[in-house]
Chains A and B, each alone.
Chain A
């Protein structure tokens, strides 16, 4: 069974530029999550999708971050414009969903450096 796929693996941009990350969850997983992990901290949930609907985006900085999962499968997270403090690893995770349990499986992450 293929795991969660993410791209790119690394990205370096200058502040005020925009960037987008892509995630493809495990096949059949209805729930998709985006996390931000700053060095030395645990992952922080940014947004949770159930199929193509948003379940929780309370910690997403909506003035600069946006995410979509239009067809209920893969998802894109965008930052525009980026700030220095956005430097982090962006992790995508998926789970079967409410009926199937909420054990989450993570992709390899995208390491973002904002200069």
Chain B
């Protein structure tokens, strides 16, 4: 089992729809969780961090964390073509561990 697993992509949604990205992790001691966006040929850009169970909203982005289920997700509301990128889930049980990423395409 991989330490951080993300739903296999690619994921394609129409413009204006909700994109849902999922991530599970194996290390129960993890306390910090992050979502990064990576455009093709660019470096990862931090978009959300979450540390407590529940939801955290920032603009069109909502991160959800359930430590009991070892599950973290990212919802993107009103998806825009500019949201098309690879989204990386990262978990920090002491050292940062990244998933392989889910490629999202938002079609106009």
For A102, the chain B residues whose CB sits under 8 A away are 32, 92, 96
Q: Which residues of B (31-55) have their CB < 8 Å from a CB of A?
A: 32, 34, 36, 42-46, 49
- Say whether B49 contacts A42, CB under 8 Å: no
A108 interface hit (Cβ, 8 Å): yes
For B88, the chain A residues whose CB sits under 8 A away are 42-43
Known: A102-B32, A102-B92, A103-B34. A42 touches B46 (CB 8 A): no
0/1 interface trace, chain B 52-92, chain A, CB 8 Å (1 if under): 00000000000000000000000000000000000010101
A40 interface hit (Cβ, 8 Å): yes
B6 to chain A, nearest CB (A): 8
- Docked CA distance A42–B90 (Å): 9
Known: A42-B4, A42-B88. A104 touches B100 (CB 8 A): no
- Say whether A43 contacts B95, CB under 8 Å: no
Q: Which residues of A (49-70) have their CB < 8 Å from a CB of B?
A: 56
Interface size class of B (residues with CB under 8 A): 20 to 34
Interface centre among B4, B34, B43, B90 (most CB of A within 10 A): B43
For A91, the chain B residues whose CB sits under 8 A away are 43-44
- Say whether B95 contacts A45, CB under 8 Å: yes
A25 to chain B, nearest CB (A): 14
Known: A103-B34, A106-B43, A106-B44. A56 touches B95 (CB 8 A): yes
Between A and B, 22 residue pairs with Cβ closer than 8 Å are A33-B96, A40-B100, A42-B88, A42-B90, A42-B101, A43-B88, A44-B98, A45-B95, A45-B96, A48-B95, A56-B94, A56-B95, A91-B44, A102-B32, A102-B92, A103-B34, A103-B49, A104-B46, A104-B96, A106-B44, A108-B42, A108-B43
Q: Which residues of A contact B (CB under 8 A)?
A: 33, 40-45, 48, 56, 89, 91, 102-109
